Amino acid sequence: MRNQKPVTLTGGMNIGATAYSSQNAPERQAPYSWTFSASPTLNVYGIQFPFTLIYADNNRNLSSPFQRFGVSPYYKWAKLHLGHRNLNFHPFVLAGQPILGTGVELNPKGIRFGAVYGRLAKAEFIDSTRSNFRGQPSVFERKGYCVKLGFGSERNHLDFVWLKAKDDANSLPVIPTDTRTFPAENSVLGVSSKLSFSKWAVWNLDLAGSAYTRDTRSNEVAIPDSFSLVKKISALFQPHLSSQAFSAGETSLRFLFGSSWLQVALRRVHPDYKSMGTFYFQTDIEQLTFSPNLVFLKNKFLLAGSFGWQRDNLLGKKLFTSQRVIGSANLAWRPSNVFSANLQFSNFGLTQTRFTDLVEDSLQLRLVNQNAGVNLSWNIQGNGRLHNISVSGNYQRTNDTSPATGGTGDLTSQFGSAMYTLVLPQQQFNIFGGLSGSRNQFGEGGATTFYGLTVGSSKGFFKNKFNLRASGSFFKQQNEMAGKGSTITARMGAGWRVSKRQSIQLNSNLVRSPGGRREWFGSVNYGVGF
């Protein structure tokens, strides 16, 4: 610490304001709004105190402005979390869920410990009798804690994670009458492991079991004394009539060959698996995938892909079981600094099989989705100029052979574009222009076609301390059944680098769309670093 500065402050902050107006079009945002954000880091004798502050008034429907504040000071292997934080202890237990509270992470050699306690959701009562009611449910206040205890290093470790969270049934002034708002409770136990076999293989494992009560006001389930083990577990989670328990897991084995690797992965998530420490992810799924990533010719050639099988209806309670064949491939070739090419292809098939003979064949679903794309790029330098040419195209088709649709659900889409950019570094000037178009057709209906052009330019002054930019686009829309229309967009902007740490940005955007609709967006932003 003697070699450290006593106190230093680094980071930055931004202040921005926006304006909006519309004519013959529904308003998509407030006429005026502003935001303030800051990310300062305080350093006290080598101990880091990073702060985060966001304040905005752009959501007029909220009872109070949106604001967050958090800090995570750390020193060597110890870190403290205060305020609004997003922690990741386990992908199926605690992963990215915002928490307002206190936490700590301690990672001395051989030990992996973490703990956090706080509020996961703020109580908010939604009055369904309001004129601006949009169907959103009320939210109970939710608090919880999560603890992680593990052993090992980043390359080889074994972690155990426990989460306990519960809604406060008395946190709302009025008991909601809708059928979507219930005070819930959740207990989750997870295991995470990673094992590295020298330099040729890596094995990962994540398992979790979740006990979730949808309504804590429902009757409790009495556990007989003969079930001694279950009775001990009930001290951590009291089951109710609305309780359910499901599991989720994922494991992968990756083989390493220099810069190349080959991975096989298995993922299985039960239906309705939930954790109050995670956001939504796909459930009722079992998936096996093989993923190669092969590099050749001194990193000039890359072949990557993913191939596998997927199914749902893991508990056999659905009328149909959906089975998917998934596959994708990506080919990248860069023979020189001038030219590069990228090709992509994917094929996904979905077939439903009957779980019971009571279901007619006409209700089954059979889909095949194919997608192919190409991107070509040329970068040519010389005589103080830089030329860039890029060409891309994409074709997608969804083939529906379901008995009920008879092929009328087919979807075909094509897209293509070409862009040219000229950069003159010494003159601080660049200009670009391009053409693009697309065509979409669904079933036997009429096709919708978009095509148009985009042009723009920017110019810097005073060694790029000040710059001006402008661009515009014109696109025609044509539908064989709905008719024609056009959209014109004009953009202008300016930037001023006041000093090495200060900058000001101005932007204006005008859109004219079919039906005489006009919209204007304007913004100003001031940023400073320190």
pLDDT tens, 130-159?
A: 655 666 788 899 999 999 999 999 999 999
Give SS3 for 303: strand
Q: Would you say 348 and 323 are in contact if contact means Cβ atoms under 8 Å apart?
A: no
In whole angstroms, give the CA distance from residue 304 to residue 293.
4
For residue range 34-83, what is the model confidence (pLDDT) as tens digits?
Answer: 899 888 888 887 667 777 788 887 543 333 344 567 788 888 899 999 98
In whole angstroms, give the CA distance from residue 272 to residue 82.
32
Q: How far is CA 469 from the centre of its chain?
A: 31
What does the mean pLDDT of the chain come to? 86
Mean local confidence (pLDDT), 284-312 = 92
For residue range 180-196, what is the model confidence (pLDDT) as tens digits?
Answer: 788 999 999 999 999 99
**For 197-206, 364-373, 379-388, which range has the lowest pLDDT when averaged over its residues?**
364-373
Q: What percentage of the chain carries pLDDT values higher than 90? A: 55
For residue range 225-238, what is the model confidence (pLDDT) as tens digits?
Answer: 665 656 566 667 88
Residue 8 has pLDDT above 80, yes or no: yes
Q: What percentage of the chain carries pLDDT values higher than 70? A: 86
Q: Would you say 51 and 72 are in contact if contact means Cβ atoms under 8 Å apart?
A: no
Residue 310 has pLDDT above 60, yes or no: yes
- pLDDT bin (cut points 50, 70, 90) of residue 282 is confident
Q: Of all helices (H) and strands (E), which one includes residue 233? A: helix 228-233
Q: Would you say 118 and 111 are in contact if contact means Cβ atoms under 8 Å apart?
A: no
For residue range 407-458, what is the model confidence (pLDDT) as tens digits?
Answer: 556 788 999 999 999 999 999 999 999 999 999 887 666 788 999 999 999 9
For residue range 397-418, what is the model confidence (pLDDT) as tens digits?
Answer: 887 655 555 555 678 899 999 9
For residue 519, give the nearest of 530, 510, 506 by alpha carbon.
510
Q: Which pTM value belongs to this model?
A: 0.74
The Cβ of residue 406 has, within 10 Å, a number of other Cβ atoms equal to: 12
Q: Of all helices (H) and strands (E), which one includes residue 519? A: strand 517-529
Joined together, the tokens standing for residue 274 give 């939930």
Whole-number CA gyration radius for the chain? 28
Task: Give the pLDDT score at 59.
Answer: 44
Task: Give the pLDDT score at 515.
Answer: 78
Q: Give residue limits of the domains in the chain.
A: 76-283
In whole angstroms, give the CA distance from residue 413 to residue 397.
6
Mean local confidence (pLDDT), 322-332 = 90
